[in-house]
Amino acid sequence: MARSWAPVVPMTPVPFLRLFRADGTVRAQLFVYWAPPLSPARPAAAIDSCRDGICVRPIDIKEQRDWKELLATLTRQDACPTQTSETLMVCSDCDQLWIKTTAGGKYREQSCQQPAPDTPAGALLLLMKTAQAAR
């Protein structure tokens, strides 16, 4: 499924947080991906994995969270509740988050543009930005 805001070939590093269950434990991995040909100021390094013009770099997450609880929250509630407003806002370069979960055989997809900090999506976005900046 293509998203108008999900760059296929990103010019700047795009964070990607992966939560997965292994041996009954929920773990987190954070990566950034980008296209070096479109971003000459960000060449690939030895720790990066590059293929077909896209590079991926793992980012250490220093902040520990209860990943199992976070994942459970994302599967059962709206991570980015919308606020009704009279104002129509259009933003092509705002922060955006795409959340895909599967639990109990049910697939759920949420798309959040410019999530508020007090939402689960806003908290995840802040975590990703903080970890990316600390590398």
Q: What is the pTM of this model?
A: 0.69
Per-residue pLDDT of 51-62, as tens digits, reads 888 888 898 888
H or E segment and range at residue 75: helix 67-76
The whole-angstrom separation of Cα 74 and Cα 110 is 9
Task: Please say if the pLDDT value at position 33 is more than 80.
Answer: yes
Give bridge partners of residue 32 from the DSSP assignment.
15, 57
Cα–Cα distances in angstroms (integers) from residue 134 to residues 47, 68, 101, in the given order: 16, 24, 27
**CB-count exposure of residue 40 (10 Å: 0-12, 13-18, 19+):** exposed
- Does residue 102 or residue 2 have the better pLDDT? 102
- 87 pLDDT tier (thresholds 50, 70, 90): low
Q: For 77-86, what is each residue's pLDDT tens digit?
A: 887 776 655 5
Average pLDDT over residues 58-77: 84
pLDDT of residue 86: 53
More confident residue, 125 or 44: 125
Q: Is the pLDDT of residue 6 over 70?
A: no
For residue 121, what are its two tokens? 């999506």
Q: CA-to-CA distance for 32 and 121, rounded, in angstroms?
A: 18
Domain range annotation of the chain? 14-134
